[in-house]
């Protein structure tokens, strides 16, 4: 019904799935390379492990996730407000800016694979100074992020238009989710914007010679933790808005869903220093405050677990399920849109537990910078978000293309394959992390290193990482095959899926109006950020805004860092 919006959703999803495919290739190469099964990176290209790792990290967590979010939010907002986006020129601008930005950054990364082009960006998605990328890498990211800012404004101004036509209505739930997520995004991108515009770009262009690594890392993590909620909240939107319907029931509680999104808005950002527990130059007290704030974030996740499971149980019972657990059997496990989201939710629970270990200041020392950490976030962003997005695509792509889902039997096994592959890979990564095996490396300097596993052997965990990587890649291949066949093959049909979304059991009339007071929640969020960050940033900046690298160990590994701390 809305040709421009449908086109934008198609472009955003197309870009998301392209980056998912490219990133998945990198994931396979890494899992075979770092386990020693198949090492060919240096032989067929001029790049190295870090070139692949940069492409995998950036393509997966910046481009795949955020392009998908742009498509899903455009769909969710226009559908829930039942109106077109406000300003077609603005809409065309932001989607173009994001595509051009992603292209330039990808060019800088891919340039690292051949010495024929004098461009490279082996800086990983965290882009820590003093690692330096070609300016194109940062300029592309700037265009990409500013595109998202304009998109947010496009959506907010569409909401304002709706509000002036409907002064007394409650904000429809999906629009509420889009707005709170974008408000959080504006707050959290302040960190990366300052880092890239004031420090990394001038430094990569040679305009300044020095940079303060502690400051730029702190600015990065101000953004870098909260961004995980930007990856997660589109999955939450699908779990709250679509999953109950797919299971055959209705959302349990609209007010609880609103509370959860507000909690992420206000608590999501003042926690980033928990990624820097081992960074020298940041007093322990600031780290302790970040840890305390982090623990509060368990609340919205536990609320979500309760609300979503209650909604699914309702669905199972509507389908005739009986007893304590009998309703589980009646759920539509053969529908990949349902099974993908449900399995993603189960893995998210496991990711939550390993996340609690990461968040604890003392026990974090055990797993810091080990491969435990990728083990953790492949359960969260790598499954809770990624698998939910794939499942969402099985439901949304037929709607935006007007075609029936192709290869349904293959699609039905795909989420289960992902679940099995990730169980192997992530579990083995967690265990290898407990041996002390570092993340982000497979370079020769670690060859002579011996680990002392309490249970199992290094060979055994490595084989599971490699096996998991292969199964995941097969699963990803199936997903892309099904989507491409749906998109480019098959006949147009009138209504490929039942797209009605039933109202919640406890609707917006039961939620206090104060929940819709977005100005209030943004005010609280900004206040918490000021309280958590002003003193640490002021303290770190006393080293000098554009200097301080002399006091910072260039090789940030655990031993060096401990030496500095002691």
Q: Which residues are catalytic?
A: 225, 229, 376-378, 439-440
Indicate whether 34 belongs to the interface with ligand HEM (CB under 6 A).
yes
In this structure, are residues 236 and 261 in contact, taking their beta carbons and an 8 Å threshold?
A: yes
Count H helices and E strands in the chain, helices first.
22, 0
Q: Which stretch binds ligand HEM (CB under 6 A): 93-101, 328-336, 371-379, 500-508?
A: 371-379
Residues 240-299 close enough to bind ligand HEM by CB under 6 A: none
As beta bridge partners, residue 506 has 253
φ/ψ (deg, to 5) at 440: 55, 35
Q: Which stretch binds ligand HEM (CB under 6 A): 22-30, 255-263, 348-356, 516-524?
A: 22-30
Closer of 146 and 441 to ligand HEM (Cβ): 441
Closer of 253 and 383 to ligand HEM (Cβ): 383
The minimum distance between CB 30 and ligand HEM, in angstroms, equals: 4
The minimum distance between CB 35 and ligand HEM, in angstroms, equals: 8
Tokens 């910078």 -> residue: 369
Closer of 72 and 529 to ligand HEM (Cβ): 72
HSE, CB side, 13 Å, CA atoms: give it for residue 267.
18
Indicate whether 381 belongs to the interface with ligand HEM (CB under 6 A).
yes
The minimum distance between CB 225 and ligand HEM, in angstroms, equals: 13
Handedness of CA 348, 349, 350, 355 (dihedral sign): positive
Handedness of CA 305, 308, 311, 315 (dihedral sign): negative
The minimum distance between CB 25 and ligand HEM, in angstroms, equals: 8
* CA atoms of 326 and 330, how far apart (whole Å): 7
Q: Which stretch binds ligand HEM (CB under 6 A): 250-258, 259-267, 320-328, 470-478?
A: 470-478
Site string for ligand HEM, 384-403 (x = CB under 6 A): --x-----------------
Token code pair at residue 285: 């007290």
Site string for ligand HEM, 420-439 (x = CB under 6 A): -------------------x
- SS in 3 state form for 202-233? HHHCCCCCCCCHHHHHHHHHHHHHHHHHHHHH
In this structure, are residues 110 and 45 in contact, taking their beta carbons and an 8 Å threshold?
A: no
Closer of 179 and 343 to ligand HEM (Cβ): 343
Closer of 316 and 415 to ligand HEM (Cβ): 415
Site string for ligand HEM, 51-70 (x = CB under 6 A): --x--xx--xx--xx-----
Q: Which of 19, 63, 67, 125 touches ligand HEM (CB under 6 A)?
A: 125
Q: Which stretch binds ligand HEM (CB under 6 A): 29-37, 157-165, 184-192, 325-333?
A: 29-37
Q: Which of 15, 16, 17, 31 touches ligand HEM (CB under 6 A)?
A: 31
- Taking the CA atoms of residue 519, residue 275, residue 301 and residue 329 in that order, the dihedral angle to the nearest 10 degrees is 140
Cβ neighbours of 557 (radius 10 Å): 12
In this structure, are residues 212 and 543 in contact, taking their beta carbons and an 8 Å threshold?
A: yes
The minimum distance between CB 374 and ligand HEM, in angstroms, equals: 4
Counting beta carbons within 10 angstroms of the beta carbon of residue 294, is it exposed (0 to 12), middle (13 to 18) or buried (19 or more)?
buried
* CA atoms of 168 and 175, how far apart (whole Å): 15
Indicate whether 374 belongs to the interface with ligand HEM (CB under 6 A).
yes
In this structure, are residues 240 and 257 in contact, taking their beta carbons and an 8 Å threshold?
A: yes
**Cα distances (Å, whole numbers) of residue 352 to 234, 261, 357, 412:** 17, 17, 9, 26
Treating both helix axes as pointing N-terminal to C-terminal, what angle do 135-165 and 88-110 enclose, rounded to 10 degrees?
160
Q: Which of 472, 482, 504, 540 touches ligand HEM (CB under 6 A)?
A: 472
Length of the chain, in residues:
566
- Tell whether omega for the bond before 240 is within 30 degrees of 0, i.e. cis: no
Closer of 78 and 216 to ligand HEM (Cβ): 216
Residues 87-116 close enough to bind ligand HEM by CB under 6 A: none
Nearest residue to ligand HEM, scored by beta-carbon proximity: 27
The minimum distance between CB 415 and ligand HEM, in angstroms, equals: 13
Token code pair at residue 450: 């011996």
As beta bridge partners, residue 403 has 492
As beta bridge partners, residue 370 has 438
Q: Which stretch binds ligand HEM (CB under 6 A): 113-121, 342-350, 402-410, 469-477?
A: 469-477
Indicate whether 476 belongs to the interface with ligand HEM (CB under 6 A).
yes
Burial 373-383 (b: 16+ CB within 10 A, else e): bbbbbbbbbbb
The minimum distance between CB 31 and ligand HEM, in angstroms, equals: 4
Closer of 134 and 378 to ligand HEM (Cβ): 378
Indicate whether 378 belongs to the interface with ligand HEM (CB under 6 A).
yes
Q: Which stretch binds ligand HEM (CB under 6 A): 83-91, 149-157, 472-480, 546-554?
A: 472-480
Indicate whether 28 belongs to the interface with ligand HEM (CB under 6 A).
yes
In this structure, are residues 136 and 127 in contact, taking their beta carbons and an 8 Å threshold?
A: no
Contacting residues toward ligand HEM, per CB under 6 A: 24, 27-28, 30-31, 34, 53, 56-57, 60-61, 64-65, 124-125, 371, 374, 378, 381-382, 386, 439-440, 469, 472-473, 476
């Amino acid at each position: 019904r809305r040709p421009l919006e449908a086109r934008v959703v198609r472009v955003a999803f197309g870009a998301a799935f392209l980056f998912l495919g490219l990133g998945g290739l990198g994931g396979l190469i890494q899992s075979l390379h770092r386990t020693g099964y198949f090492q060919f990176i240096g032989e067929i290209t001029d790049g190295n492990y870090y070139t692949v790792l940069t492409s995998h990290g950036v393509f997966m967590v910046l481009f795949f996730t955020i392009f998908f979010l742009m498509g899903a939010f455009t769909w969710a907002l226009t559908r829930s407000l039942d109106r077109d986006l406000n300003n077609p020129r603005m809409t065309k601008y932001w989607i173009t800016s994001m595509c051009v930005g992603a292209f330039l950054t990808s060019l800088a990364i891919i340039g690292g694979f051949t010495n024929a082009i004098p461009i490279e960006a082996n800086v990983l998605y965290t882009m820590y100074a003093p690692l330096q990328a070609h300016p194109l890498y940062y300029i592309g990211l700037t265009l990409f992020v500013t595109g998202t800012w304009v998109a947010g404004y496009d959506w907010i101004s569409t909401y304002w238009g709706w509000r002036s036509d409907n002064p007394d209505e409650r904000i429809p739930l999906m629009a509420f989710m889009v707005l709170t997520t974008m408000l959080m995004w504006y707050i959290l991108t302040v960190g990366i914007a300052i880092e890239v515009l004031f420090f990394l770009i001038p430094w990569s262009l040679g305009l300044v010679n020095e940079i303060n690594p502690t400051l730029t890392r702190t600015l990065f993590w101000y953004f870098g933790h909260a961004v995980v909620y930007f990856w997660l909240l589109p999955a939450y939107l699908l779990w709250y808005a679509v999953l109950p319907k797919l299971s055959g029931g209705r959302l349990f509680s609209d007010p609880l869903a609103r509370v959860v999104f507000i909690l992420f808005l206000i608590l999501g950002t003042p926690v980033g220093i928990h990624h820097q527990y081992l960074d020298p130059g940041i007093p322990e007290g600031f780290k302790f405050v970040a840890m305390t704030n982090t623990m509060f974030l368990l609340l919205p996740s536990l609320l979500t677990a309760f609300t979503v499971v209650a909604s699914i149980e309702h669905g199972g019972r509507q389908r005739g399920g009986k007893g304590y657990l009998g309703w589980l059997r009646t759920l539509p496990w053969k529908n990949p849109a349902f099974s993908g989201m449900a399995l993603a939710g189960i893995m998210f629970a496991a990711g939550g537990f390993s996340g609690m270990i990461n968040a604890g200041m003392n026990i974090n020392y055990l797993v810091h910078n080990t491969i435990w950490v990728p083990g953790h976030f492949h359960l969260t962003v790598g499954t809770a978000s990624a698998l939910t997005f794939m499942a969402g695509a099985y439901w949304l792509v037929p709607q935006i293309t007007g075609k029936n889902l192709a290869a349904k039997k293959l699609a039905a096994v795909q989420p289960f394959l992902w679940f099995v592959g990730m169980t192997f890979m992530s579990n083995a990564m967690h265990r290898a992390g407990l041996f002390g095996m570092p993340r982000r490396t497979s370079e020769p300097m670690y060859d002579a290193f011996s680990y002392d596993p309490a249970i199992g052997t290094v060979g055994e965990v490595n084989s599971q990482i490699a096996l998991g990587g292969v199964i995941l890649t097969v699963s990803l291949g199936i997903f892309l095959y099904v989507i491409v066949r749906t998109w480019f093959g098959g006949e147009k049909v009138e209504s490929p899926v039942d797209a009605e979304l039933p109202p919640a059991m406890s609707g917006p009339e039961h939620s206090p109006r104060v929940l819709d007071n977005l100005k209030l929640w943004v005010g609280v969020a900004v206040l918490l950020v000021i309280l958590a960050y002003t003193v640490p940033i002021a303290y770190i900046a006393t080293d000098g805004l554009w200097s301080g690298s002399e006091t910072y160990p260039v090789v940030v590994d655990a031993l060096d860092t401990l030496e500095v701390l002691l």
